[in-house]
Amino acid sequence: MNVEFKNNKGFCIWLIGLPCVGKTTLVYRERVYKG
């Protein structure tokens, strides 16, 4: 499981294609995009 933080406003939990919880954070099939 990978957890990525973005601007300390939200976090994304990436396991098996689960949706992302937070703000302005996008999750793709095999990568986490932060912008």
Give the pLDDT confidence score for residue 3 in this predicted structure. 55
* Residue 21 contacts residue 13 (beta carbons within 8 Å): yes
Give the pLDDT confidence score for residue 31 in this predicted structure. 54
Give the pLDDT confidence score for residue 1 in this predicted structure. 44
Give the pLDDT confidence score for residue 8 in this predicted structure. 43
Distance CA 34, CA 27 (A): 9
Dihedral (CA of 26, 22, 18, 13) sign? positive
* Maximum alpha-carbon separation in the chain: 24
Nearest to residue 2, comparing CAs of 23, 25, 31?
31
What distances in angstroms separate CA 2 from CA 6, 13, one per listed residue?
A: 13, 6
Domain region containing 16: 2-34
Q: Which residues of the chain have pLDDT under 50?
A: 1, 7-9, 16, 23-25, 27-30, 35
What's the domain count of the chain? 1
